[in-house]
Structure 1
C-alpha cells in the first residue's frame, strides 16, 4: 500500500476499504516512452477540488508526479523523475489522469500507483489504479558457428558456439538436435551484464559428430514471448571434393587470370599489326 505524502494514514486506510483498485501490467523497452493508465470515470469532476498522486513504494522518494487543484506540483517530486513525467492536459477534465513517462530505463521498473482524492468538506479517495511496469528488450538474432567436417570424422567431438546480445531480462538458451527434436545440454553458458542493464549470452555445445548433424540454438525471452533461433546443417568436405564456396572462389580467380592473359595477347596482336602497317606505309612512300 502506498500513501500520498500529505494524507494521514488512518484516512487513506479507511478509504481503501471501499475503493476498488484497478491493476494493469505494462512491458516497455529501454529508451521508449510509456503511458501509465489512470482513468477515473466519475461525473462532474472539478480539477480545483482534486488531488492526483502518482507514486511508488519508496520510503526515501515516493512521489513520481502530483497534480494539486489543477496545477502540477513538483515540490516533492523524486529527482529521478524530474522532467520525465507529463499529464495529458486535454484529458484531465474527463477524468483521465494517465501519466506519460519518458525515456524508460531499468531503474524505472516499479509498481506505480495513481490515487485520486476529492476535497469538499473532507478529503476522500474516489479512485485508485495500479500499474506494474516491467522492462524487456529483444535479443539480437543468434549467430551459430560449427565445424566443417571431413567424411571420416564421425564419432569425433565437435564444438558449436552460439551468441546473442542486447537483450533483457536474462534469456533461456536451448540446444536442440533437429534430427529427433531432443534437447542437448550445453558445455558452457555465459550471461554477461552490460552497463545499460542489458545482457549478452554465449553458449558452447560439444557433441560427438554423426553422419548427418542438424543443430539448432534457440534464445528465449520469456517476458516478450520471443524465441529466436539459428540452425546448423553440417558442411561436409570429402578428400576429393571441395565445398561449393571454395569452388566458387577458385573459378572466380581462374576467370580473372584468363581475362588478363587474353588482354595481354590482344595488346601484343594490336602492336604487331600497327608495326606491320607502319612498315608497309614506309615502303610505299620510298617507292614513290
Structure 2
C-alpha cells in the first residue's frame, strides 16, 4: 500500500521490537543542537529500505522524516521546516540523529525518533526519546545604590540589582562582601517577569541597615546552565574623607577624636625630649680630654 503521510504510517505500525533510548540535551536560545538517535550496532542501512521519523512525543507533531524516494520535508510542521534535517550520509551508517538549527524556547519538548525497515515488514528497529531543555544567558547583573545626602547609623540602605533576557526563571542571592556570607532572603524583594521575547527580566531590591564600609554583591543563578553571574555594589563610605573605600576598623566617635589627637601630640613631645637628652649626653662625653675637665663657664671665659 502506498504511504501518503507519516501520520498514517504511524497509525498502522504494530508493537515495539527495540529497546527505547532516553537522553537529555541542553541548548541555548539561538544555538544549534544535535538530538542523538543511533543504532546500537554497526550496520549499514539502505536508504530505500529505511524509514525515519522525528516527532514531538506529546502531540505527534512531525519535525522531519525520511521516506524512500520521497520528499522528506513536505509533511513536517512549518515551525521546523528549514531548521530540522537528517544527514543521509549518517543515516546510511545507522546514525539517525536530528540536527536542529536556531533553537527557540518552543523547542523545549520531548522528541521521539522512530526507525523502521521495509525489508522486515515495516518492523520498528529503533526508538529513541530525547528531552530538549532550552536556556538563555542572563545579562551581567547591574547593582546600584540609592544614595542619601548624609548616611548615619539609624538609616537603612537600599540597593537594586537588575538582569535581563535569561531563561529559565533565575535564583537571586545577595552577598555580604566583607565575609562572603549570604544575606537573609527576607532582606530583599525579587520581581521576575517575562518580556516580549518570552525571556525573564529580573529586578531585586535589597534593604539593609547602614554600616561603615558596607559592600554587597548580587548573584543571579541559572540552574539549567549551572551558571552564576555576580556583580558588586558601591561600598558605603566609612567617613566623609574616605568615600568609596572599605575600612576594617570603624571610625572613632566624634567625642573621642580630640582626646586621641592630644594623646598623639603628647607621645611626640616625649620622644623629642628623650632624643635631646641623649644628644646632650653624647656631646658631653666627647668634650672630656683626659687632662682636666673644661666647664661651660671656663669655655666662655677663654673666648671673652
**TM surpasses 0.5:** yes
Smaller-chain TM-score bracket: 0.7 to 0.9
Counting matched residue pairs gives: 237
**d(CA) in 2 for partners of 1:88 and 1:46?**
14
Counterpart pick for 1:6 among 2, 5, 8: 8
- For structure 2, the 5+ residue unaligned runs are 1-5, 246-304
**d(CA) in 1 for partners of 2:13 and 2:69?**
22
SS of alignment partner, residue 90 of structure 1: helix
CA contact (8 A) 2:214 2:236 kept: no
**d(CA) in 2 for partners of 1:183 and 1:242?**
25
Structure 1 or 2: larger strand share? 1
Matched, 1:170 2:143: no
Equivalent residue, structure 2, for 1:77? 76
Structure number with greater CO (CA < 8 Å, separation at least 6) is 1
**d(CA) in 2 for partners of 1:232 and 1:161?**
9
**d(CA) in 2 for partners of 1:149 and 1:104?**
46
Equivalent residue, structure 2, for 1:225? 226
Q: Which segment is superposed worse, 25-34 or 64-73?
A: 64-73
CA contact (8 A) 2:55 2:111 kept: yes
Tell me: CA distance 1:8–1:81, structure 2 relative to 1, closer, same or farther (3 Å): closer
Which deviations, in whole Å up to 9, do the C-alpha atoms of 1:262-284 show, x marking residues without a partner? xxxxxxxxxxxxxxxxxxxxxxx
Report the CA distance between 1:217 and its aligned residue. Answer: 1.1
Equivalent residue, structure 2, for 1:22? 21
Report the CA distance between 1:85 and its aligned residue. Answer: 1.5
- For structure 1, the 5+ residue unaligned runs are 246-288
Equivalent residue, structure 2, for 1:212? 213
Equivalent residue, structure 2, for 1:55? 55
Equivalent residue, structure 2, for 1:130? 129
SS of alignment partner, residue 146 of structure 1: strand
Matched, 1:107 2:106: yes
Which deviations, in whole Å up to 9, do the C-alpha atoms of 1:220-279 show, x marking residues without a partner? 00000001111235241744x37479xxxxxxxxxxxxxxxxxxxxxxxxxxxxxxxxxx
**d(CA) in 2 for partners of 1:197 and 1:234?**
35
Tell me: CA distance 1:163–1:199, structure 2 relative to 1, closer, same or farther (3 Å): same
**d(CA) in 2 for partners of 1:55 and 1:142?**
38
**d(CA) in 2 for partners of 1:152 and 1:35?**
56
Select the structure of larger CA radius of gyration: 2
TM-score, with structure 1 as normaliser: 0.74
TM-score, with structure 2 as normaliser: 0.70
Q: Which segment is superposed worse, 170-179 or 155-164?
A: 170-179
